[in-house]
Amino acid sequence: MIMRIIFLGPPGAGKGTYASRLSPILKIPHISTGDMFRAEAASGSELGKKLHDIMTSGALVPDELTVEILKERIQKDDCKEGFILDGFPRTIKQAEMLDQATSIDVVLNVKLDQEILIKKMTARRVCKDCGNIYNIADIRIGDLHMPPLLPEKEGVCDKCGGNLIHRKDDTKEVIEDRLKEYEKKTAPLIDYYTKKGLLKDVVVAGGPDMMIPRILEMIGK
């Protein structure tokens, strides 16, 4: 059964963590736009060179180019049984362009209170080499418990052995600005996909070990 999934939700809600854990279970690739851009830019293709110039200039990748790269990516053999999109679409325009490129089976909208999001994101640690994400926060609020996601060796990525860093933009002020931007640009996608009958809310009640089985049940797996 083909399963084409989109993860929606504010920054830090856990989209990337859930997508990366679901990917091997469902045997479909987790496609992050950031990873996709980096891979294409490193490929040496004409498209990659164009993308590299845009990224090094600090400009945003145009929607048309993003969709072009995504279309190329989802035509690869590993996407025959589906894929998980993380980080795209971000706007209604992107969603409409995506509709022209492929069909989507389910949109999972990850919901987490802003207070918890800020606690979680300020405690995030990222591998500077592969981008793998960890978290040092042990959040306990009411019945909710989100245990830390720690590497086996402190400060060292389990995946590639790279150093873990605290990103400069993972501060309370920057995060609050990013959440406002999300509400303005990306939150309208919730209505867009609700009207299409594709949206399912994923209300975060604990760590990934609790949530992954719930998500699998929601999508009938």
For 164, the token pair is: 């873990």
For position 33, what pLDDT does the model report?
A: 85
Q: Does the annotation count 167 as an active-site position? A: yes
Q: How are beta strands 124-127 and 164-165 bridged, if at all?
A: antiparallel
Model confidence pLDDT, tens digit, residues 45-79: 888 888 888 878 877 788 888 898 899 899 999 99
Reported as a pLDDT band with limits 50, 70 and 90, residue 36 is confident
Q: Does the annotation count 90 as an active-site position? A: yes
**CATH 3.40.50.300 for domain 3-218:** yes
Question: What percent of the chain lies above the pLDDT cut of 70?
Answer: 100
* DSSP at 156: B
C-beta of residue 124 within 8 angstroms of C-beta of residue 168: no
How far is it, in rounded angstroms, from Cα 190 to Cα 107? 9
Choice among 76, 140, 159, 167 that is catalytic: 167
Choice among 21, 38, 50, 178 that is catalytic: 178
Choice among 4, 15, 73, 119 that is catalytic: 15
Model confidence pLDDT, tens digit, residues 95-151: 999 999 999 999 999 999 999 999 999 999 999 988 888 999 999 988 888 899 999
Choice among 21, 71, 90, 185 that is catalytic: 90
pTM for the predicted model, two decimal places: 0.83
* Helix or strand run (H / E) with residue 8: strand 3-8
Give the CA distances from residue 208 to residues 123, 142, 147, in Å, rounded to whole numbers and listed in that order. 16, 18, 9
* DSSP at 199: E
Torsion of CA 133, 136, 140, 145, to 10 degrees: 40
Choice among 4, 73, 124, 125 that is catalytic: 124
